């Protein structure tokens, strides 16, 4: 189910690094080098597979941009914000 405006606002207040773009959210994570970026992507892949929800991933040397949207709903949903918060936790641990 599509997130309400209040749910979107609450998520963005708690996770200000994420940017709302229509019915998706995205964030660019920056690491020290390419191997660190790939290690992060690998951990995120396991989290995404466990959630059965998969991001669009753009890797540029030490930068990883994650974009989330629930394509089956054509909307931003709780699946997206839950996975985004797990990506933030992975980034802090990396």
pLDDT in tens, 27-73: 999 999 999 999 999 999 999 999 999 999 999 999 999 999 999 99
Residue 32's CATH number = 3.30.1360.20
Asked if residue 94 has pLDDT above 90, the reply is no
Q: What is the average pLDDT value for the chain, to the nearest integer?
A: 97
Give the per-residue pLDDT at 47: 98
Considering its fold, how many domains does the chain have in total? 1
- Are residues 27 and 87 in contact, defined by beta-carbon separation less than 8 angstroms? yes
Measured CA to CA, the distance from residue 14 to residue 70 in angstroms comes to: 20
Residue 34 structural domain: 5-93
Task: Compute the distance between CA of residue 2 and CA of residue 44 in angstroms, rounded to an integer.
Answer: 23
Placement of tokens 């708690």 in the chain:
14
């Amino acid at each position: 189910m599509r997130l309400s405006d209040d749910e979107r606002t609450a998520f963005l207040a708690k996770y200000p690094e994420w940017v709302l773009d229509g019915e998706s959210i995205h964030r660019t994570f920056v690491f020290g080098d390419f191997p660190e970026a790939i290690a992060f992507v690998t951990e995120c892949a396991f989290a995404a597979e466990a959630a059965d929800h998969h991001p669009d991933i753009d890797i540029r040397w030490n930068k990883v941009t994650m974009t989330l949207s629930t394509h089956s709903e054509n909307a931003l949903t709780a699946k997206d914000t839950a996975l985004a918060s797990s990506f933030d936790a992975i980034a802090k641990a990396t």
